[in-house]
Amino acid sequence: MADLTGQIKDQRGGFVKLLSKIPGFKGYMEKETRRDADKLIRDVLAGRFTEQLSRMADIQNELIPSGGFEYVDDVEGAAVKLRTFIDRVKTAPRGYAGLFDAVQVKEDQLEQIYNFDNQLLSEVDNLAAAIDRCRIAMGTLPAPAPAEGAAPAAAGPDALKQSIAALRQTCAGLNDLYDKRQHLLLGSI
């Protein structure tokens, strides 16, 4: 995350560098840089999760011709949770508290927020794996070779029902994690 802030600082022109020598302006610009970095991170997050949302729509489309109508609503429930999460990420106010805002974000809180953002980025892989497990259970994605001593991935109605339930839980967990991030920003953690 710090690398992103550095890249944004490096892209500034000479005029902004000149202005940064004015007393008080440097702190203002650092806050603006953090706000820009926050927006960029959230845009990347939203894009990556939107890709996974598209993959969930593919599951629904694959369920219909294979006679899995009973599962379409369950996948849609997971998709609604994911869409809600994506919308929250996209529409959150830009950046962190400004100089005169009622809620001020301290530097130690910023580190915690960056940790949440890193965790959210890792959740993209967890969601992709949950989607893959659904597709394996449907038989539309070949199961990877099991690790030595492990059972092979299951396919069939019971496995599909369990994998869809896990998918819904993963999507709900994204909203819970984002709630914790928001509570941290508001100082209620």
**Residue 25 belongs to some domain of the structure:** no
Q: How many domains does the chain have?
A: 1
Q: Is residue 18 part of a domain?
A: no
Has residue 71 been placed in a domain?
yes
The pLDDT of residue 101 is: 45
Give pLDDT < 70 ranges for the chain: 1-36, 93-110, 141, 144-154, 187-189
Which residue, chain included where needed, has tokens 């203002």? 28
Does the pTM surpass 0.75? The reply is no
Place of tokens 């599909």: 160
Q: Which residues contact 154 (CB under 8 A, 6 or more apart)?
A: 136, 137
Q: How many CA atoms lie within 13 A of 174 on its CB side?
A: 32
Domain that includes residue 109, residue range: 49-185
Q: Is residue 126 part of a domain?
A: yes
The owner of tokens 């949770």 is 81
